[in-house]
Structure 1
Amino acid sequence: MSSHTLPRQVRIGYALGSVATGSFGTVPGLLLLPYLTDTLGIAAFLAGAIVLLPKALDVVLNPVAGRISDRHVSPLGPRRPFLLRGGVALAICFALLFAAPDLGSSVIDGAWVLIAFLACATAYAFFQVPYVAMPAEITDDYGERTRLMAWRVAVLTLAILVSGGSAPAIRDALGGREGYRVMGLAIACLLLIGTIGAYLGTRKAPIGPPAETAGSLRSQLRIVAQEADFRRLLLTFMLQALAVGAMLAGIDYLARYVLGDSGASTMLFLCVVGPALLVSPVWQAVGARFGKKTGYVAASVVLALGAAGLVAAQDVPVGLVYLSTAFVGIGFTGAQVFPMAMLPDVAAVDTARTGMRRAGVFTGIWTAGETLGLALGPGVFALVLQLGGYISSTRDQVVQPGSALTAIVLGVSVVPAVLILVSLFSLRRYRLNAGEVEALEVR
């Protein structure tokens, strides 16, 4: 493990993996629920269950993937082989996800999506967990991890912009099932770009000396669960992932039914991600000046305010709706930079204290929590739709009752804002700071 500044090519190479994580984290959350309710005609509650169940599998699978990569021995490092295998499999499965054959049966359509999404979730676990575990092993410098995460979040933001902006545009250009099929192939190509870029770009990254990985998975999970700072950070991140998942699921509905323009979904993404491309260095500077925890709190407050501003989406000019989404993007950027930089600190401190390599277990639990939050988000939004009397249909768009429109607005504004503010009660007890991390790693 190196305490020196990482080469630029390693930073860029590692960051390219976020093309895959950003694309897969964005597009299903944005379009899978509308695909199920408005193209396949599946009821909102059942559609929410189909979106949730494969992600719930990752709660069990991700720690296992982390443990497997912890124990893996390879001259390429313990993580990199999994990037290639998991990423390629993910691209193939994603192309199939939106390619359900039109056999005139909603049961068959739903089963196809469920099975394909299960396959995607499994492949993604074996890509994402080793990928997120790498920073704790390629540098032991507290500040360098923040810089590495700033690069990653910049690419992540760009990936969200490209995938989240282009996916609805491709779908709308062709329309119907064919639009979804072509969109699936296009996003699969982005997944391959991220996979190959991360695999090749990190070939010269320091991997550090081998560390002991003794103990069963159960015992390591128990030990990791006892790490108070990790629990606090994880709970904060999970609640915010739940909030973001609900907002992401609601954007397409907000554009089509509240703003009255399906093309507005692309514009909403531009408003979210465009400013975020500029503020990542600002959040990095905030973290360097005031600390990661303080920066995380500040970013979370901005994110909550942006979400709350959307509550007036039915009554204000569309420009103000776009402005609120821009605040969401600014806050979201910081709310990604800081926890991603704080997680490697927790894992590295654990290794310094115990001499054991458990970064994969830490990140397995972390990504399981993130995945569960992002999966529950669309489920929560689907439940709000159901309670609001939303009408599912195989036609492109139907007239919704006023209660459904209100449900859409509440699902993308009040619900996420409350979740984000509640998450800060857990974060306030997080204790690790730069001095403690550096002292333990030098010891």
Structure 2
Amino acid sequence: MRVKLGFGIGDLGGNLFFTFIGFYLLYFLTDVLGLSAALAGTTLMIGKVWDAVTDPVTGYASDRTISPWGRRRPYIFVGAIISLLAMYLLFSISPGQNQMDLFILTTLYFCLLNTAYTLVNIPYTALLPELTRDYDEKTLLTAYRMCFAVIGTFVGAAAVMPLVNLFPNEQTGWTIMASILGGIMMGTAFITVWAIREPQHKKEEVKGHGFFKTYLEALSFKVFLLVLIPWTLFIAGTSMIQGAMVYYFKYIFKDEASFQLALVALLSVSLLFIPIWARISRRISKKNCYNIGMLILTVAVLLFSFSGGFWPVSSAILIMGFAGIGLSTHYIMPHSILPDVVEYDAIENNGLRREGVFSGLWTFTSKLGQALALALNGWILSLFHYKPDVVQTPEAIKGIQLICGPLPALFYITGIFILMRFPINRDFYNKMIHSEEPAS
């Protein structure tokens, strides 16, 4: 239980960071610091590019680290300390400086914060295959992790503005709030470092090839691609929905406040169904659970996209609750499937362990999926002549409906068809582990 809770709580801080940055950083840069929207957008772009580049580098380095603490925990420990420092530095910048000084400072500190997040998140993701080789135990550990992840999402989305508003000086509020959240991020990472005991590896298990050859080998591994591509497509579809929901409630339902209720319904049901899907996966394969969940999510987003104008806003909130049943599989199953791929790869490569490499690619492609989704949302809204803060034309309404249902559904269905070919189920995995060679 110490390991389950200690491993799981590590993702509370990770999702708190991810949600907080996604919801509030742009607002802080433009409305609190006074940075122009163009420069603020450039800061976010540079930070995200840097974030993506550091993922595979950190994964590769952690795979080849040998220390008394193991391969992953030294990075998590150092990254956790830098997280608190970077959160304080970024959100304590004084407003009123000239634009270029603000741009340089915010970009440097945001890159530092993303580096800290990478040092924690990539080794953390790579920990799971180190903790157990049992097919179902991986799902259980992931369920603990994702329950804490949803809690982190709630905190990052809902607790920020009430904390900031407690202080008469807005800048002081942001600095104190960011320091508190940075402290939570550091504290949860420290608990993981304390609770986990990594296995010791021999040099021959971690030597491998050079950086580029290692990643080319991983990207040519068919079994990995059969889960990596659906994961990226599912991330893209889900990110489109997340970015588009607020437009739907504001301009189609004309009830922006209900967006928060829909978000609570979505996340609450997702949290409730994480342990349920973990139990179901003991009877059917993880792949089948994931595909069933994404089919549920596909039906839900299509219903949601056509609900405005026909059903009351309460029906949309109920549909989002229904969507949470499917979304919960997106929290738990892919992160439980990836360690199975790592074991397959290790057996095929005579015991060479490359958890960090696969985790780095996993996170890197998820960020590509998010970037694609955000770009598509913007392009489609522009194509359909969307204009902010005005009554939308019928053409613009169609554009909003398109990114709230049919397009994400297309991503989901494509991913489902690809994932159907993924070969590893419980029998395949157990035969592979017991024989220590790939099952045919």
After TM superposition, is the score higher than 0.5?
yes
Corresponding residue to 2:304 among 288, 291, 310: 310
- Residues 146-169 of structure 1 show CA distances to partners (whole Å, capped at 9, x for unaligned) of 111111111112221222222355
- Using the size of structure 2 for normalisation, the TM-score is 0.85
Following superposition of structure 1 onto structure 2, how do residues 111-190 of structure 1 map, counting pairs within 5 Å?
Answer: 112-167=105-160, 169-170=162-163, 178=171, 183-190=177-184
Following superposition of structure 1 onto structure 2, how do residues 185-224 of structure 1 map, counting pairs within 5 Å?
Answer: 185-202=179-196, 205-210=197-202, 211-224=205-218
The reply on whether 1:322 has 2:314 as its aligned counterpart is: no
Which residue matches 1:430?
A: 422
Which residue matches 1:344?
A: 339
The reply on whether 1:419 has 2:418 as its aligned counterpart is: no
Say which SS state the counterpart of residue 290 (structure 1) adopts: coil
Deviation for aligned residue 1:309: 3.0
Say which SS state the counterpart of residue 281 (structure 2) adopts: helix
Which residue matches 2:376?
A: 380
Q: Do the aligned residues in 2 keep the contact of 1:29 with 1:378 (CA within 8 Å)?
A: no
The residue type paired with residue 68 of structure 1 is A
Instruction: Identify unmatched segments of 5+ residues in structure 1.
Output: 1-7, 393-397
Q: Do the aligned residues in 2 keep the contact of 1:242 with 1:377 (CA within 8 Å)?
A: yes
Which residue matches 2:47?
A: 54
Q: Do the aligned residues in 2 keep the contact of 1:149 with 1:341 (CA within 8 Å)?
A: yes
The residue type paired with residue 351 of structure 1 is A
User: How far, CA to CA, are the matches of 1:258 and 1:183 in structure 2?
Assistant: 34
The residue type paired with residue 367 of structure 2 is T
User: How far, CA to CA, are the matches of 1:333 and 1:11 in structure 2?
Assistant: 19
Task: Tell me the number of residue pairs that the alignment of Structure 1 and Structure 2 aligns.
Answer: 428
Larger of the two Rg values belongs to structure: 2
Corresponding residue to 1:363 among 356, 359, 364: 359
Instruction: Identify unmatched segments of 5+ residues in structure 2.
Output: none
- Residues 160-207 of structure 1 show CA distances to partners (whole Å, capped at 9, x for unaligned) of 1222222355567779964655553443233223222222222xx352
Say which SS state the counterpart of residue 362 (structure 1) adopts: helix
**Identity fraction in percent:** 25
Which residue matches 2:23?
A: 30
Say which SS state the counterpart of residue 130 (structure 1) adopts: helix
Say which SS state the counterpart of residue 157 (structure 1) adopts: helix
Say which SS state the counterpart of residue 75 (structure 1) adopts: coil
- Relative to structure 1, the CA distance from residue 377 to residue 25 in structure 2 (aligned partners, 3 Å threshold; closer, same or farther) is farther
Q: Do the aligned residues in 2 keep the contact of 1:385 with 1:408 (CA within 8 Å)?
A: yes
Q: Do the aligned residues in 2 keep the contact of 1:239 with 1:423 (CA within 8 Å)?
A: yes
Which residue matches 2:225?
A: 231
Which residue matches 1:4?
A: none
The residue type paired with residue 95 of structure 2 is D
User: How far, CA to CA, are the matches of 1:175 and 1:286 in structure 2?
Assistant: 50
Q: Do the aligned residues in 1 keep the contact of 2:51 with 2:111 (CA within 8 Å)?
A: no
Say which SS state the counterpart of residue 11 (structure 2) adopts: helix
Deviation for aligned residue 1:305: 2.4
Q: Do the aligned residues in 2 keep the contact of 1:18 with 1:156 (CA within 8 Å)?
A: yes
User: How far, CA to CA, are the matches of 1:350 and 1:115 in structure 2?
Assistant: 37
